[in-house]
Amino acid sequence: MPNLTLYVQRILELMKRYPGVIALGGFISGVGSFILVDRQQGLATWIAIIMLVSWVWLMLENSLTQLFTKVFKREIPQPLLRYATQMIHQESLFFVLPFFFITTTWNSGQLAFTGLLGAAALISITDPLYYKWLAPRRWLFLAMHTLTLFAALLTALPIILHLTTSQSFKLALGIAMLLSFPSLASIFPIRTVRGGLSVLCITVAIGATGWFLRSWVPPATLWMTEVAISTQLQDRTPGASLEQVSVAQLRRDGLYAYTAINAPRGLDERIYHVWKFNGKEVDRIALDIHGGRKEGYRAWTHKQNFPGNPVGKWQVRVLTEDGQVIGVLRFVVTDTGQDNPAPNQAK
């Protein structure tokens, strides 16, 4: 046992000396999983399991350490506990970040969610912030752990269980709500029925807020590999992508909104192409996609019915069943006779 203690102390010293190594390892594993998303079920599974177990540990930390001391007649070194939790945060956050960075629509509310994950990851590798600012504030510490767990589940569930993005979001949100209740109870001790109802109401409010802001959460395992707004489509391949289209050409050929969407192998997902004109929805068309194709599952909608005066700004928003934004295609309809082909970017 003394040798084990000495070994643990040496590991802790190395962790103190090179605090960024764990974060770098998590980031590399995340990038690797992103590139080989359909082949990394094992790693995603372990990340999710570790996060769930670590949450139970945080809730029962005092009781479990006392039990360990009673059974093994030895105390768990406090530095080991602190660094183990920090390591879990670092590994988990840097595992999910590549997924969310790629799938985020940056000119939308998704910027706030991914930015929050990035800030949490930065805090996890900055010891003064983590130990002197975050850790002493129990409610903030548990909030960060809940956010990390939520993001890990959003990434892992479609890969592990082949759940749709909609199902994964609901399950992840439900688990986050369930686990936030004991966190809130530790912050606001329940001494009366009224106190218990208050904590319950706060928990429900957190869940309702998460559901209301679901469009701000990127679909972690769905991203567009190719997009186009075009007047032509042949052999499942679109013609030149357009940023501007004339009314005459619109009336003559209609428009194709083409998207190739990458999804994990085995995942069947329903998405929607939502056509919007000057901010107002004019069409919502459902498409079923299937995961596993390296270049992304190719799907498109062909719109031929346009308003009497279609001149203006158009969008085709690509959404999940629950309204999470996968991407946005933009183009402008003009009343001139010229069309300007240009690469159309999904933003």
Q: What are the φ/ψ torsions at residue 121 (nearest 5 degrees)? A: -65, -40
Q: What domains can you pick out in the chain, each with its CATH number?
A: 2-216 (no CATH), 223-341 (2.60.40.1930)
Distance (Å, rounded) from C-alpha 171 to C-alpha 164?
Answer: 11
Q: Which two tokens stand for residue 184?
A: 């809130």
Q: Are 78 and 12 in contact (CB under 8 A)?
A: no
pTM: 0.77
pLDDT at 21: 62
pLDDT at 264: 75
Distance (Å, rounded) from C-alpha 310 to C-alpha 64?
Answer: 66
**Measured CA angle at 69 (ends 68, 70), to 5 deg:** 90
Q: Which two tokens stand for residue 130?
A: 């983590």
- SS3 of the chain: the string is CHHHHHHHHHHHHHHHHCCHHHHHHHHHHHHHHHHCHHHCHHHHHHHHHHHHHHHHHHHCHHHHHHHHHHHHCCCCCHHHHHHHHHHHHHHHHHHHHHHHHHHCCCCCCHHHHHHHHHHHHHHHCCHHHHHHHHCCCHHHHHHHHHHHHHHHHHHHHHHHCCCCHHHHHHHHHHHHHHHHHHHHHHHCCCCCHHHHHHHHHHHHHHHHHHHHCHHHCCCCCCEEEEEEEECCEECCEECCCEEEEEHHHHHHHCEEEEEEEECCCCCEEEEEEEEEECCEEEEEEEEEEECCCCCCEEEEEEECCCCCCCCEEEEEEEEECCCCEEEEEEEEEECCCCCEECCCCCC
CB within 8 Å of 13: residues ≥ 6 apart: none
Mean pLDDT by 10-residue block, N- to C-terminus, for the chain (347 residues)?
Answer: 58 59 59 52 64 65 68 67 76 84 89 94 85 84 85 84 88 87 71 81 88 92 90 89 90 92 80 94 92 81 91 94 92 74 49
CB within 8 Å of 188: residues ≥ 6 apart: 195, 198, 199, 202
Estimate the crossing angle of helix 165-187 against helix 138-160, to 10 degrees: 160
pLDDT at 35: 54
Task: Tell me the Ramachandran region of residue 68: left when phi exceeds 0, alpha when psi lies from -120 to 50, beta otherwise.
Answer: alpha
